[in-house]
Amino acid sequence: MTGVRGLVGILFGFVLVAAAVPAAAQQRAEVPFPAALRGDAFRLESPALGRGFDIYVRLPPDYDPDGSAYPVVYLLDGDSLFPILAANHLFLTYDEGLPEAVVVGIAYGGFDPSVNRRSLDFQSPDEGLAAEQAGAGAFHTFLTDELLPLIEGRFNIDPERRVLFGQSRGGNLVLYSAVAHPDVFWGRIASNPSLTPGMASITGSAAPAGRDDLEVVVTSGERDRADLRTEAAFWAGIWSAREAGERPWQVRLIPIAGGTHAANATDAYRAGMVWLFGQGAAGD
């Protein structure tokens, strides 16, 4: 009898477990994004580029579609940087007094080179590069003609306060944007930019701008590779030395104490955003 009771108990336990699995799976499926990252996510296919991107949108916790328009931050390399920097923006509103913002991550959906085309999209023209190897121009057109109008038509955004953030090769795209299309973004942050090849197209003359309040921040980790630190200082030094009429923006080089190449992206974002919305906005 004891054996039968034991067997019945075991079978009853299996039934309970089996019955619980669908409910548990359903509960997991209904869990939303963490509160600091809630907003929207969708796939955007680009007719111009012939491929698509995963777009993530973080909205302020008290987002008001009918209130005052929000600044917007566009993050390159959204596969890795969106979950880190979009969530951290909340803490910067607490500790640094930054305004709330809509944060947009532009992601490839993976890191495999067959999917992730950052080496093409962030590459600006340079001597010795074939035209098909330098995709910065086409990618920037995707931003201006496809992504920005969609995002800013769907959400309550102030287009006068757009910020573009890029890390490493993404920093090259940020600086290409500043030189070739200065008016598109009010503020730009290039974190530990990797500028070779591509330096030639971002150190020549800049396109004219229609506004006089534009800002470019270059951050450089003190523990980053020596060649990348040299490139960052070289670019910032060239443009800082030029007359105001030759450069359409203010330039600020900010060292990140103890910063490495990639692991201090939050420090670069913090330093750049504080400059843009604090001292930089005041014209210092």
Instruction: Give dist(CA 279, CA 74) in Å, integer.
Output: 21
Please report the pLDDT score of residue 244 as a whole number. Answer: 87
Residue 81 · residue 105 · CB < 8 Å: yes
CA-wise closest residue to 81 among 100, 97, 58, 61: 58
Query: What local confidence, expressed as pLDDT, does residue 6 receive?
Result: 45
Q: Which pLDDT value is given to residue 143?
A: 98
Domain boundary assignment for the chain: 46-282
The two tokens of residue 104 are: 């947009």
Using DSSP's 3-state secondary structure scheme, residue 58 falls into strand
Q: Are 189 and 214 in contact (CB under 8 A)?
A: no
- Give CA–CA dist 7/147, Å, rounded: 61
According to the model, what pLDDT value does residue 1 have? 42
| Residues forming beta bridges with residue 44, ordered by sequence position | 53
Place of tokens 């008290």: 62
pLDDT at 14: 39
pLDDT for residue 186: 98
Identify the architecture of domain 46-282 in CATH.
3-Layer(aba) Sandwich (3.40)
Cβ neighbors of 206 (< 8 A, separation 6 or more) are: 178, 179, 180, 182, 246, 247, 248
Residue range 64-104, pLDDT digits in tens: 999 999 999 999 999 999 999 999 999 999 999 999 999 99
Residues of the chain with pLDDT under 70: 1-29, 279-284
Q: Which pLDDT score, from 0 to 100, does residue 32 have?
A: 83
